[in-house]
Amino acid sequence: MLSLQGIAVSPGVAIGEAFVVDHEGFRIPRRFVPQDAVEYEIERLQRALDAAAAELEQNRQRIDAQLGSQYGAIFSAHLRMLQDPQLVEKLHELIRTRHYSPEYAVSTTLREYAEAFEQLPGHVLPERAHDIYDIERRILRQLLGRRREELSHLDSPAVILAHDLTPGETAQLDPEKTLAFVTEVGGVGGHTAILAKAKEIPAVVGTGRFLHEVAGGDLVIVDGDHGHVIIDPDAATLERYERERKQHQALFQQFEQLRELPAETADGVRIELAANIEFPHEVRAARRRAAAGVGLYRTEFLYLASDEEPTEEDHYRAYAQVVEAMEGRPVVIRTLDLGADKLGRAPADGEEEANPFLGLRSIRLSLKNIDGFRVQLRAILRASALGPVQVMFPMIATLGELRRAKMVLADAMEDLDEQGIHYDRRIPVGMMVEVPSSAVLIERFLEEVDFVSIGTNDLVQYMLAVDRANREVAELYQATDPSVLVMIDRVVRAAEAAGKPVSVCGQMSSEPGQALLLLGLGIRRLSMPPVNIPEIKAVTRRVRCDECRSLAERALQMDLAREVNALLREELRRILPDLVNHHPTSPDTP
């Protein structure tokens, strides 16, 4: 049994067989093969060894011709190692007598060799370990082929264990087949984490290195409430988690029963609970949880689904579907918030970026591609003829950006006017407050927009200078840091003074203790993944606004996120004790 602790990012407990994808996207298969498949597996290994040898020979000839035989000799050495009769004999024996799968036999044997080299003194010999890893990868590539695409269509339900999943890959996961996923890297605020919640797939990220210790088919428990991952559990542990899974389901079913009741505090103050969505089909989940509207539609996932830039019709079809399904409830459509952070690569024609979160992302990208931006805005405007649509610009850092974005919007309106196409002329125009500069100058921004929505995921990242998707600094990523709370307080007060609506659409809205804090700071509109709405409604209905206010006042006076977290835990324990077990301590700040 192997126990890991990672960062819990999407709730629920799942138990199932592992589907393992290593660093390079290879699927790591089952460790063992049945007796009657042994001869077939030995043949398969031989074919892979032959193909790898042919590949090496080709490389040798090419490099000989290009650079001379002294360089080609590197490949000759690899070739000799690959065809070493002792190695081949050992692999056969492991398959024949221990029933190892060829992949497992190759990995264990070559890693053993590499580790032996790594232990040797000096520089030269330990470096040979790289050569051995290279040979291992070469054979595995032949045995497995590139299998990453399999993630989106698994044959049977499984728990995905991967080094990393890009937001694009996570977006493709089938929730029916993906029982849960675990990644070695990643942080609490990353888009992979956000998508896990959107898809209602239990998930743990940032566990650190462990894939070398697992194989496909191993039994895994993933506890997305506490961040625990257990591989090959013993019977007692398995039983405990089966119980836990049932309790979790029972608690959440209880919350779901509040569906018909209003989101209202115990002293009768209405709170608007809206849904964050990434794909049009999520409106079904939003309606099922009685969302008051769509508070954040992250349209960039339309771009992640394909390599081609979406056409105006692609945009329009997606938006129309959402607006119509929401039947008169407001829908906030956010313009493209794309960048290397979500793509896992530089945007088209862009350069590799060392700091994607500080780079060509979001509104900056839209303002660089005005034609594409206008296409999206036209589609949003056209959708506004179908129901109450609001348009929102992401990551606004300066008034100049806001004004330029509004000018492109005005342009798009003029075009539609000329063409006689209908849209809502009074469409509310808002912006995200997620870059500290916009919070600092919020009064001036409020003069130029109809509403603001606080994006705490990025606000925390930019306030504290901590990458939201990096496990190495995950403990520093604290939405409850008093500096963040002071900023939110400032924005809420300014919006109240200006008489403009303000909401929160970052993850803070969906964390019960932090949601209480937001109510205390004066927020009355929260937008979150549909899966969290019932739970937040349950919490809201148990508290009074004055209790939340005094909670926020105390939090604002504190020095450390750790102190605020303890205060929130205490408050939650008082009002909804069952929940505290499902939302254990937030990571403490040092």
Residues that bind ligand PEP (CB under 6 A): 194, 296, 298, 337, 434, 455-458, 505-506
Q: Out of 226, 228, 315, 505, which one is annotated catalytic?
A: 505
Give the Å distances, CA to CA, from 504 to 356, 414, 501: 24, 32, 10
Q: Please state whether beta strands 502-504 and 429-433 pair in parallel, antiparallel, or not at all (unpaired).
A: unpaired
Helix axis angle, 85-98 relative to 102-119, nearest 10°? 130
Q: What 3-state DSSP class applies to 455?
A: coil
DSSP H helices, 180-329, are 191-198, 235-256, 283-288, 301-304, 312-325
* Residue closer to ligand PEP (CB basis): 11 or 72: 11
| Beta strand segments in 163-202, E | 178-183
CB atoms within 10 A of CB 336: 24
Q: Alpha helix (H) ranges present in 16-123?
A: 38-67, 69-82, 85-98, 102-119
Q: 11 is in the binding site of which of Mg ion, ligand PEP, none (Cβ under 5 to 8 A by kind)?
A: none
Task: Assess contact for 492 and 508: CB atoms under 8 A.
Answer: no
- Answer yes or no: 545 catalytic: no
194's contact among ligand PEP, Mg ion, none, with CB below 5 to 8 A by partner kind, is ligand PEP
CB of 257 to Mg ion, least distance (A): 33
Q: Rounded distance, CA 139 to CA 106, Å?
A: 8
Residue with tokens 């790898």, as numbered in its chain: 52
Q: Interface with Mg ion by CB under 5 A: which range of 7-15, 63-71, 239-247, 427-435?
A: 427-435
Please report how close the Cβ of residue 392 comes to ligand PEP at its closest, in angstroms.
10
Interacting partner of 110 out of Mg ion, ligand PEP, none (Cβ under 5 to 8 A depending on kind): none
Which residue, 101 or 335, has its beta carbon nearer to ligand PEP? 335
User: CB of residue 297 vs ligand PEP: minimum separation in angstroms?
Assistant: 10
> Which of helix, strand or coil describes residue 289?
coil
C-alpha torsion 447→448→449→453, nearest 10? -70
Query: Smallest distance, Å, CB 487 to ligand PEP?
Result: 13
Closer CB to ligand PEP, 101 or 456, in the complex = 456
Q: Which residue is nearest to Mg ion (CB)?
A: 458
Instruction: Single out the segment in contact with Mg ion by CB under 5 A; choices: 21-29, 454-462, 473-481, 531-539.
Output: 454-462
When computed from its CA atoms, the radius of gyration of the chain, rounded to whole angstroms, is: 27
Stretch that binds Mg ion, among 111-119, 136-144, 353-361, 433-441 (CB under 5 A): 433-441
**Binding piece for Mg ion, criterion CB under 5 A, among 188-196, 320-328, 406-414, 455-463:** 455-463
Per CB under 5 A, which region of 279-287, 320-328, 434-442, 471-479 contacts Mg ion? Answer: 434-442
- Grouping H, G, I as helix, E, B as strand and the rest as coil, residue 138 is helix
Distance CA 4, CA 429 (A): 46
Number of Cβ within 10 Å of residue 236's Cβ equals 9
Partner from Mg ion, ligand PEP, none contacting 298, C-beta within 5 to 8 A by type: ligand PEP
Q: Is residue 191 annotated as part of the catalytic site, yes or no?
A: yes
365 binding partner (options Mg ion, ligand PEP, none; Cβ < 5 to 8 Å by kind): none
Q: Encoding tokens for residue 93?
A: 């024996």
- Measured CA to CA in angstroms, residue 565 lies from 192, 511, 520, 587 at distances of 24, 11, 15, 9
Distance (Å, whole) CA 146 – CA 29? 13
| Distance in Å, CB of 527 to ligand PEP, minimum | 8
Among 72, 295, 356, 455, binds Mg ion (CB under 5 A): 455
Pick between residue 45 and residue 460 the one whose CB is nearest to ligand PEP.
Answer: 460
Between residues 183 and 457, which has the closer beta carbon with respect to ligand PEP? 457
Query: Taking CB within 5 to 8 Å according to partner kind, which of ligand PEP, Mg ion, none is near residue 525?
Result: none
At 353, list the tokens.
């970026």
CA gap 33, 16 in Å, rounded:
19
Identify which range of 65-73, 413-421, 430-438, 531-539 contacts Mg ion by CB under 5 A: 430-438
Closest separation between CB of residue 507 and ligand PEP, Å? 7
Cβ at position 417, least distance to Mg ion in Å: 32
Which one, 206 or 455, has the nearer CB to ligand PEP?
A: 455
**Residue 458 vs 535, nearer CB to ligand PEP:** 458
Q: How far is the CB of 308 from ligand PEP (least distance, A)?
A: 22
Query: Nearer Cβ to ligand PEP, position 182 or 484?
Result: 484
Complex with Mg ion: residue 144 or 431, whichever CB lies closer: 431
Give min distance, CB of 117 to ligand PEP, in A: 44
| 487 contact choice in Mg ion, ligand PEP, none (CB below 5 to 8 Å, kind-dependent) | none
Structural tokens at position 28? 């790591």
Residue 136 site contact among Mg ion, ligand PEP, none (CB < 5 to 8 Å, cut-off depends on kind):
none
Helix (H, G, I), strand (E, B) or coil at 118: helix
* Phi–psi pair at 381, nearest 5 degrees: -60, -45
Catalytic residue among 191, 226, 228, 582: 191
Q: Under the criterion CB under 5 A, does residue 458 sit at the interface with Mg ion? A: yes
What three-state secondary structure class fits 279?
coil
Strands (E), 108-177: 158-162
Amino acid letter, 311: T
Residues 2 and 7: their CA atoms lie apart, in Å, by: 17
**Residue 28 touches which member of Mg ion, ligand PEP, none, C-beta under 5-8 Å by kind:** none
Q: Which residues bind Mg ion (CB under 5 A)?
A: 434, 455, 458
Q: Which residues are catalytic?
A: 191, 505
